[in-house]
Protein backbone atom coordinates (compact mmCIF):
# COMPACT_ATOMS: atom_id res chain seq x y z
CA UNK A 1 0.00 0.00 0.00
CA UNK A 2 1.33 3.45 -0.94
CA UNK A 3 1.30 5.97 1.87
CA UNK A 4 -0.73 9.16 1.48
CA UNK A 5 1.44 11.19 3.88
CA UNK A 6 4.67 12.91 2.90
CA UNK A 7 6.67 14.75 5.56
CA UNK A 8 9.38 17.31 4.91
CA UNK A 9 11.89 17.05 7.78
CA UNK A 10 12.89 20.68 7.49
CA UNK A 11 11.64 24.10 8.54
CA UNK A 12 13.28 25.74 5.51
CA UNK A 13 10.75 27.84 3.58
CA UNK A 14 12.92 27.38 0.48
CA UNK A 15 12.68 23.58 0.59
CA UNK A 16 8.94 23.81 1.27
CA UNK A 17 8.47 26.05 -1.78
CA UNK A 18 10.48 23.62 -3.93
CA UNK A 19 8.46 20.62 -2.75
CA UNK A 20 5.25 22.49 -3.56
CA UNK A 21 6.40 22.66 -7.21
CA UNK A 22 5.68 18.91 -7.50
CA UNK A 23 1.98 19.57 -6.74
CA UNK A 24 1.67 16.40 -4.66
CA UNK A 25 -1.46 17.67 -2.93
CA UNK A 26 -3.30 17.52 -6.27
CA UNK A 27 -2.60 13.77 -6.25
CA UNK A 28 -4.24 13.43 -2.83
CA UNK A 29 -1.14 13.46 -0.64
CA UNK A 30 -1.12 15.02 2.80
CA UNK A 31 2.02 17.18 3.00
CA UNK A 32 3.39 17.93 6.45
CA UNK A 33 6.45 19.66 7.89
CA UNK A 34 8.33 18.53 10.99
CA UNK A 35 11.38 19.98 12.72
CA UNK A 36 14.39 17.66 12.94
CA UNK A 37 16.44 18.39 16.05
CA UNK A 38 19.88 16.91 15.39
CA UNK A 39 23.55 17.74 15.89
CA UNK A 40 24.77 18.99 12.51
CA UNK A 41 28.46 19.18 13.38
CA UNK A 42 30.78 17.19 11.09
CA UNK A 43 32.59 14.18 12.49
CA UNK A 44 36.41 14.31 12.60
CA UNK A 45 37.75 13.87 9.08
CA UNK A 46 34.27 13.59 7.57
CA UNK A 47 34.11 14.58 3.90
CA UNK A 48 31.48 17.18 2.89
CA UNK A 49 29.59 14.71 0.67
CA UNK A 50 29.45 12.13 3.45
CA UNK A 51 28.32 14.80 5.94
CA UNK A 52 25.31 16.03 3.96
CA UNK A 53 24.11 12.54 3.07
CA UNK A 54 24.44 11.41 6.71
CA UNK A 55 22.58 14.50 7.98
CA UNK A 56 19.80 14.13 5.41
CA UNK A 57 19.22 10.55 6.61
CA UNK A 58 19.50 11.58 10.28
CA UNK A 59 16.89 14.32 9.83
CA UNK A 60 14.47 11.86 8.25
CA UNK A 61 15.05 9.23 10.93
CA UNK A 62 14.66 11.59 13.88
CA UNK A 63 11.14 12.64 12.86
CA UNK A 64 10.09 9.17 11.63
CA UNK A 65 8.70 7.91 14.97
CA UNK A 66 6.15 10.74 14.89
CA UNK A 67 4.92 9.74 11.43
CA UNK A 68 4.17 6.03 11.03
CA UNK A 69 3.13 5.00 7.53
CA UNK A 70 4.69 8.03 5.84
CA UNK A 71 7.44 9.03 3.47
CA UNK A 72 9.94 11.38 5.10
CA UNK A 73 12.14 13.75 3.09
CA UNK A 74 15.40 14.86 4.68
CA UNK A 75 17.94 17.23 3.15
CA UNK A 76 21.09 19.09 4.11
CA UNK A 77 23.54 21.35 2.29
CA UNK A 78 27.06 22.73 2.61
CA UNK A 79 29.37 24.68 0.35
CA UNK A 80 32.87 23.31 -0.17
CA UNK A 81 35.73 25.57 -1.27
CA UNK A 82 39.34 24.38 -1.15
CA UNK A 83 38.37 21.71 1.36
CA UNK A 84 36.65 24.20 3.68
CA UNK A 85 32.96 23.68 4.46
CA UNK A 86 30.61 26.64 4.74
CA UNK A 87 27.11 26.37 6.17
CA UNK A 88 24.52 29.03 6.97
CA UNK A 89 26.14 32.32 8.03
CA UNK A 90 23.41 33.14 10.56
CA UNK A 91 24.06 36.88 10.74
CA UNK A 92 25.21 39.93 8.77
CA UNK A 93 28.99 39.98 9.28
CA UNK A 94 29.31 36.23 8.74
CA UNK A 95 27.37 36.53 5.48
CA UNK A 96 29.74 39.25 4.28
CA UNK A 97 32.75 37.15 5.31
CA UNK A 98 31.42 34.11 3.42
CA UNK A 99 30.89 36.08 0.21
CA UNK A 100 34.34 37.65 0.51
CA UNK A 101 35.72 34.11 0.81
CA UNK A 102 33.72 32.93 -2.23
CA UNK A 103 34.44 35.92 -4.48
CA UNK A 104 36.18 34.78 -7.69
CA UNK A 105 36.04 31.11 -6.62
CA UNK A 106 34.68 27.96 -8.25
CA UNK A 107 32.61 26.43 -5.45
CA UNK A 108 30.91 23.07 -5.05
CA UNK A 109 27.56 23.05 -3.26
CA UNK A 110 26.68 19.60 -1.95
CA UNK A 111 23.08 18.71 -1.12
CA UNK A 112 22.23 15.51 0.70
CA UNK A 113 18.79 14.01 0.05
CA UNK A 114 16.98 11.14 1.73
CA UNK A 115 13.54 9.62 1.23
CA UNK A 116 12.61 7.28 4.10
CA UNK A 117 9.59 4.97 4.11
CA UNK A 118 8.61 4.60 7.76
CA UNK A 119 6.43 1.58 7.00
CA UNK A 120 9.12 -0.55 5.36
CA UNK A 121 12.25 1.13 6.73
CA UNK A 122 13.54 1.52 3.15
CA UNK A 123 15.73 4.60 2.70
CA UNK A 124 16.91 6.12 -0.55
CA UNK A 125 19.74 8.65 -0.26
CA UNK A 126 22.22 10.55 -2.39
CA UNK A 127 24.50 13.55 -2.52
CA UNK A 128 23.82 15.97 -5.39
CA UNK A 129 26.69 18.30 -6.38
CA UNK A 130 26.26 21.67 -8.04
CA UNK A 131 29.07 24.02 -9.04
CA UNK A 132 28.98 27.81 -8.88
CA UNK A 133 31.56 30.20 -10.31
CA UNK A 134 31.42 33.50 -8.43
CA UNK A 135 32.23 36.81 -10.06
CA UNK A 136 35.02 38.84 -8.49
CA UNK A 137 33.02 40.97 -6.11
CA UNK A 138 34.01 44.23 -4.48
CA UNK A 139 33.36 44.88 -0.80
CA UNK A 140 30.78 47.45 -1.87
CA UNK A 141 28.93 44.93 -4.05
CA UNK A 142 28.95 42.31 -1.28
CA UNK A 143 27.70 44.78 1.33
CA UNK A 144 24.94 45.99 -0.98
CA UNK A 145 23.82 42.45 -1.75
CA UNK A 146 23.75 41.28 1.88
CA UNK A 147 21.88 44.43 2.98
CA UNK A 148 19.24 43.94 0.29
CA UNK A 149 18.62 40.19 0.47
CA UNK A 150 19.74 39.28 4.02
CA UNK A 151 20.71 35.67 3.10
CA UNK A 152 21.56 34.66 6.66
CA UNK A 153 19.80 31.27 6.54
CA UNK A 154 21.38 30.10 3.27
CA UNK A 155 24.61 28.11 2.88
CA UNK A 156 27.06 30.34 1.02
CA UNK A 157 25.13 33.51 1.98
CA UNK A 158 23.06 33.93 -1.19
CA UNK A 159 19.65 33.19 -2.66
CA UNK A 160 20.14 31.97 -6.21
CA UNK A 161 16.40 32.22 -6.86
CA UNK A 162 16.59 35.95 -6.14
CA UNK A 163 19.17 38.72 -6.47
CA UNK A 164 21.92 36.22 -5.67
CA UNK A 165 22.01 35.25 -9.35
CA UNK A 166 23.94 38.52 -9.91
CA UNK A 167 26.84 37.12 -7.88
CA UNK A 168 27.63 34.37 -10.39
CA UNK A 169 29.47 34.07 -13.69
CA UNK A 170 28.56 30.41 -14.31
CA UNK A 171 26.39 27.60 -12.93
CA UNK A 172 27.04 23.90 -13.59
CA UNK A 173 25.04 20.91 -12.45
CA UNK A 174 22.23 18.48 -13.13
CA UNK A 175 19.52 20.22 -11.10
CA UNK A 176 19.47 23.94 -10.22
CA UNK A 177 16.90 23.18 -7.51
CA UNK A 178 19.66 21.48 -5.54
CA UNK A 179 21.39 24.84 -5.19
CA UNK A 180 18.29 26.13 -3.38
CA UNK A 181 18.28 23.08 -1.11
CA UNK A 182 16.19 20.23 -2.55
CA UNK A 183 17.23 18.20 -5.64
CA UNK A 184 13.82 17.69 -7.21
CA UNK A 185 14.99 15.57 -10.14
CA UNK A 186 16.49 12.98 -7.79
CA UNK A 187 13.47 13.26 -5.47
CA UNK A 188 11.07 12.47 -8.33
CA UNK A 189 13.07 9.30 -9.05
CA UNK A 190 13.03 8.31 -5.38
CA UNK A 191 9.26 8.85 -5.19
CA UNK A 192 8.83 6.69 -8.30
CA UNK A 193 10.81 3.92 -6.58
CA UNK A 194 8.21 4.09 -3.80
CA UNK A 195 5.33 3.80 -6.28
CA UNK A 196 4.51 7.51 -6.58
CA UNK A 197 4.28 8.89 -10.11
CA UNK A 198 4.38 12.68 -9.91
CA UNK A 199 2.94 13.03 -13.42
CA UNK A 200 -0.04 10.74 -12.73
CA UNK A 201 -3.37 12.07 -13.96
- As annotated, the active-site residues are 76
User: Distance (Å, rounded) from C-alpha 159 to C-alpha 110?
Assistant: 15
Distance of CA 103 to the CA centre of its chain: 22
Sign of CA dihedral 147, 152, 158, 159: negative
- Specify the pairing of strand 168-173 against strand 106-117: unpaired
> Helix, strand or coil for residue 16?
helix
User: Distance (Å, rounded) from C-alpha 113 to C-alpha 126?
Assistant: 5
Query: What would the DSSP string read from start to end of 138-199?
Result: -HHHHHHHHHHH--TTSTTS--TTTGGGGGEEEEEES-THHHHT--HHHHHHHHHHTT--TT
Amino acid sequence: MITTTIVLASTSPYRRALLDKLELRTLGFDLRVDTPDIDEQPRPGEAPAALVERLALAKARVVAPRHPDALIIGSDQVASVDGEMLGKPGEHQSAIAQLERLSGQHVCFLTGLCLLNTTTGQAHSCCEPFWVSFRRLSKKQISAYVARERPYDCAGAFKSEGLGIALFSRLEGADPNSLIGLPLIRLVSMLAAEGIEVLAS
